[in-house]
């Protein structure tokens, strides 16, 4: 596979519920999340990520005002007219925490989601990504409600209940005979836990690695639509009395959701910076993304997965 030049892949871990919306809704959710029009899965616009990085870069990345302008472009009040070097792309859902009937909760993902992320990662030259298990299909080619689990997963129901894992209201069959698929799922759990949280949280990484569930694509889309966090809010007016028609419901990604995305770099002649130099400034950080900052929403950790070690912070710590 040819390598993609001048770009890096990042993972993002939500530390609090996060709302990146698309305006008003038409059903019982007044403020829904923004979703991809093709997959129906939640996503974050790259323009919003770029704005957040620009705002926090001077403090968290130690960048001078001149370098911020070079990387992200001038603001509207500046006389200069040129593009910024960094171009964050949309972030896509990778793993979603979902309640389980056994073992507390797990992180659901799908073969198609892993396949898309793995393809981009390999094109960037990243190493150490596991292979993918075969697609969850029946002999006639139709998809089925099924799941792959690590052999050590605590989410599988007791043996007398059958080879099942229950995520939300979905009872998914587990192939206990496919040892190779179980091993691949365990490898993906270990890779994802390490890549999404490389700081000093070893116990949390072990917890996540054992609870990754690779489900069929239809089940993942259902979980990502029906098992997000929905919060009811009310606006208080004078005298701390609720305003008329002030109750609304908003949709959030729950804490510990994992997203992935790409950031590319382009050459801007007047800057004199190489693209690789620009990407090296993208480092691990914790920033507030999306709306509802005043109520604690949207704290997200970004972890670059650059093949070059210069794009990581020392020791992988924030």
Give the start-end residues of each E strand in the chain.
7-14, 43-44, 86-88, 91-99, 105-110, 146-148, 164-167, 170-174, 212-215, 229-236, 242-252, 258-265, 285-288, 299-304
Neighbour-count burial of 45, counting CB atoms closer than 10 A to its CB (0-12 exposed, 13-18 middle, 19+ buried): middle
Residue range 221-237, pLDDT digits in tens: 999 999 998 887 776 66
Nearest 5 degrees, angle CA 163-CA 145-CA 33?
Answer: 125
Residue range 270-283, pLDDT digits in tens: 667 788 888 999 99
Task: Tell the residue number behind the tokens 């809010």, with chain if given.
Answer: 233
Task: Tell the residue number behind the tokens 């080619």, with chain if given.
Answer: 141
Q: How confident is the model at residue 57 (pLDDT cuts 50, 70, 90)?
A: confident
Residue range 134-193, pLDDT digits in tens: 766 554 445 567 899 998 899 988 765 568 899 999 999 887 677 888 899 999 999 999
Residue 175 in tokens = 């192939």
Mean pLDDT value across the chain: 84
Residue 236 in tokens = 């208080």
Domain boundaries along the sequence of the chain? 7-20+34-134+142-227+253-316
Q: Which residues are within 8 A (CB) of 38 and not within 5 positions of it... i.e. 6 or more apart?
A: none
Residue 312 has pLDDT above 70, yes or no: no
Residue range 93-118, pLDDT digits in tens: 999 999 999 989 999 999 999 999 99
> Measured in whole angstroms, how far is the alpha carbon of residue 38 from the centre of its chain?
17
pLDDT of residue 274: 85
Residue 88 has pLDDT above 80, yes or no: yes
Q: How far apart are CA 102 and CA 171, in angstroms?
A: 11
Most confident residue range from 36-45, 124-133, 150-159, 192-201? 36-45
Q: Give me the DSSP letters along 246-258.
A: EEEEEEEBPTT-E
Beta bridge partners of 166: 171
């Amino acid at each position: 596979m040819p390598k993609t030049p001048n770009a890096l892949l990042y993972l993002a871990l939500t530390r609090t519920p996060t709302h990146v919306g698309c305006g008003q809704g038409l059903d019982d959710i007044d403020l829904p999340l923004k979703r991809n029009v093709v997959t129906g899965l939640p996503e974050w616009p790259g323009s919003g990520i770029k704005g957040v990085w620009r705002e926090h870069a001077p403090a968290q990345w130690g960048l001078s005002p001149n370098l911020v302008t070079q990387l992200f472009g001038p603001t509207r009040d500046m006389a200069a007219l040129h593009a910024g070097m960094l171009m964050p792309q949309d972030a896509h859902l990778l793993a979603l925490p979902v309640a389980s009937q056994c073992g507390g909760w797990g992180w659901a993902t799908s073969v198609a989601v892993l396949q898309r992320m793995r393809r981009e990662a390999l094109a960037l030259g990243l190493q150490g990504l596991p292979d993918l298990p075969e697609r969850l299909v029946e002999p006639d080619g139709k998809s089925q409600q099924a799941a792959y689990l690590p052999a050590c997963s605590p989410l599988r129901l007791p043996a007398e209940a059958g080879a099942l894992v229950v995520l939300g209201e979905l009872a998914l069959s587990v192939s206990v005979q496919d040892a190779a698929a179980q091993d691949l799922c365990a490898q993906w759990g270990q890779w994802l836990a390490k890549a999404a949280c490389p700081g000093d949280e070893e116990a949390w990484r072990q917890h996540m690695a054992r609870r990754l569930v690779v489900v069929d694509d239809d089940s993942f889309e259902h979980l990502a639509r029906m098992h997000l966090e929905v919060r009811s809010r009310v606006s208080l007016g004078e005298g701390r009395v609720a305003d008329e028609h002030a109750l609304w419901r908003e949709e959030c990604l729950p804490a510990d959701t994992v997203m992935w995305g790409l950031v590319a770099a382009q050459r801007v002649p007047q800057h004199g910076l190489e693209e690789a130099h620009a990407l090296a400034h993208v480092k691990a950080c914790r920033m507030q993304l999306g709306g509802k900052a005043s109520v604690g929403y949207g704290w997200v950790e970004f972890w670059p997965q650059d093949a070059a070690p210069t794009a990581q912070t020392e020791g992988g710590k924030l």
